[in-house]
Amino acid sequence: MAVSDDAAAIVVLPCSGLDKEAGSASREIALLLSDRGVPVVCPVLYERSPKRYEKELGSRRLLVIDGCKTGCASKLAAEKGLTISKKLTVTEAARMLGVEPGKDLRLGEALRERLPQMAEQLAKTETAPPASAADTGNAYETAVTYRELTVDKFKFRVPEAGYFFNENDCWARVADGRARIGVSDYVQQSASDMIFFEPPAIGAEITIFDEAGSLETTKTALDIISPVSGKVSAINDAVVEAPELINEDPYERGWAVEIELTDFDSDRGLLMDSPAYFEYLKEKAEKEHERLYGDR
Amino acid sequence: MGEARVYVIPCSGIGKATASVGRDATFQVIEDLRPDTTDTLCLSLLTMGDEEAVAKVIGNKVITIEGCAKDCARKNVEASGTSPDISHRVHEFLKEHRDLKPETVLDTGEGGRKLAEVLAEKVAQEVDELAGSQNRPGE
Amino acid sequence: MKEVEIEARPTKVGVLSCSGESEAEGTIARNAVRLVMEKYRPGLIVTLCLPLYLAGDSGEREFAKKVPVIAVDGCEKACARLATEKYSGEVESWIDIRDLIRQWGVNDELSRSHPGELEQELTERVAQEIVKLVDRLVDEGRVEVEPR
């Protein structure tokens, strides 16, 4: 079978849900795309042997199919640091097409009839490519090394170089006229498990120290205070789907927002580089951690 | 009570209100919702490698309930030589029930108590499925 | 990774509670330790999470080596004490709540899931026993208490 232009550019990761009809549908949609020449990633095999799909995932846009809102395939993608280009949740898509997926393990006729439409919807190329980190991802691939600060039983990591911090413990990592921003390890440990991330809008103008997204944890709510000025050029979809990425990897996979910089030379004067932030954190951690957050 | 077939094991987290929710949900399942088919055991016994506790998790179905992403209950079950059949994280339920945020470790409040009920109902259904599956021929 | 440690002055007491789910005394242990931490000696206690000894990174284990540790167990199985001895070192003091309650002459059946008046009273009494042990460490100069 000839591979179409679209099929050459995409790869699909379905969930492997076997406990309900929507999970079966997820697999069937992936098979429909496979018929068009789109490679399919087996989530179970990928979990055990990520290298197996290195080539496909490194060179194609990733489409994800979740059977339901549990979002297993999205979470797997997030855990592996993949950028999701487009996602389909079968339960939601089916309801929009007038079908309610059931608890039966087998695919019913009503849902089966809607699958080609869902496959088409998922694979459809958008005319304007979505603002995605895939375009700028390579600029941030330099390996990061860390220093660790121990306070009581807690260990807080700080990158040794290449990051800039404000006094709100938010960081910026600059590359090619843009900056990815996020919250520090100190924040994610103190604030506990992340459960929601509300990003700013793509295109929003941000001035240094403005709020650039908000986070909610099991313990508190906090804003991401931007260390830089510019325009929002990308959102980390993986963090929107799985905010716990920030807890797992706050400085790399857990970046939240990307900003196209307008005046980093000025912004830089108001920020701390990594060594300065480390010293700042040393002083702050002992005094503030106990007062604000008590025990974790 | 007959011999337990599904062990519901919360993490022993003492530092987070979500751990208290997990603990409350466990008690609701084993004492109120499914007292005949479930039980719990002290996670610390698994940490210590207590033979009786290890035998229980190996010989029965297990559901773990985690107070945070450190997954202590699951990891301690795995260290005993088996894996939980199902593992829940309380904060994943919070994503679906944002208005039910627990308050403190010692008193989870109205929201925390309701969240525990939601979690307990879900686990009770899973207990039924797991307990039923233990009767399938060939298993 | 390079590590920098804020000088390990013993300004804290580590308290490890069993938190045992299947016994009422486990609930009392857990709640008593929280009371001490939140109400009676805030800022002086760092609770250690027993399952993290196995499941976590070395944070709990390493910290328990640097500070005096009080183990609070619900019953004679002594999971908290034994875990500390296994992974970190000798405990400073040990409380067996079941034994303590017996010494106080309480023989009632206790609830692990719905602590009532009796359970709350016992929790308070256990908390006070923990406070005595903490204060003894301070009085002996084993823990340095800084003015806040």
In tens, the pLDDT along B55-76 reads 999 999 999 999 998 899 999 9
Determine, for residues A219 and B15 on separate chains, whether the beta-carbon distance falls below 8 Å.
no
How much is the pLDDT for C144? 80
pLDDT at A165: 97
Determine the pLDDT at residue B10: 96
Name residues of chain A where pLDDT drops below 50: 1-4, 126-136, 292-293, 296
Is B139 a member of any domain?
A: no
DSSP H or E stretch at residue A1: none
Which carries the bigger pLDDT value, residue B18 or residue B135? B18
CA distance C70 to chain B (A): 15
pLDDT at B27: 96
pLDDT band at B138 (very low <50, low <70, confident <90, very high): very low
Domains and CATH numbers, chain A: 5-130 (3.40.50), 134-293 (2.40.50.100)
pLDDT at A235: 95
pLDDT of residue B134: 55
Instruction: Give the rounded distance of the alpha carbon of C40 from its chain centre.
Output: 13
Nearest CA distance, B53 vs chain A (angstrom): 28
Q: Which residues from A are below 8 Å from C59, CB to CB?
A: 153-155
What average pLDDT is seen over chain B? 90
- Evaluate whether residue B76 is within a structural domain: yes
Q: Which residues of A touch B95 (CB under 8 A)?
A: 195-196
- pTM, 2 dp: 0.72
Instruction: Encode pLDDT of A255-286 as tens digits.
Output: 999 999 999 999 999 999 999 999 999 998 87
Tokens of residue A179, six digits: 């900056």
> pLDDT at position A39, please?
93
How would you classify the pairing of strands A154-159 and A146-151?
antiparallel
* Distances in whole angstroms, Cα of residue B86 to Cα of each of A286, B14, B74, B93, B97: 39, 22, 9, 14, 20
> Which long-range contacts link A160-163 to residues 24+ away (Cβ below 8 Å)?
A160/A274, A160/A275, A160/C2, A161/A273, A161/A274, A162/A274, A163/A251, A163/A273, A163/A274, A163/A277
pLDDT for position C2: 56
Q: How high is the pLDDT of residue B4?
A: 66
CB-nearest partner of B91 from A193, A295, A296: A193
Range(s) of the domain holding residue B96: 6-133
Nearest residue on chain A to B13, alpha-carbon basis = A296
Distance from CA of C40 to the nearest CA of A (A): 14
Nearest to B129 by CA among B95, B92, B86, B71: B86
Residues in A 132-161 with any Cβ partner in C closer than 8 A: 145-155, 157, 160
What element of type H or E holds A235?
A: strand A230-235
In a domain, B102, yes or no: yes
Please say whether the beta carbons of A73 and A43 come within 8 A. yes
The residues spanned by each domain of chain C are: 13-139
C59: pLDDT confidence band, cut at 50, 70 and 90?
confident
- Taking an 8 Å cut-off on Cβ atoms, the answer to whether B91 and A218 are in contact is yes
Instruction: Round to whole Å and give the CA distance between B26 and C21.
Output: 9
Which helix H or strand E contains A35, and what residues bound it? helix A21-35
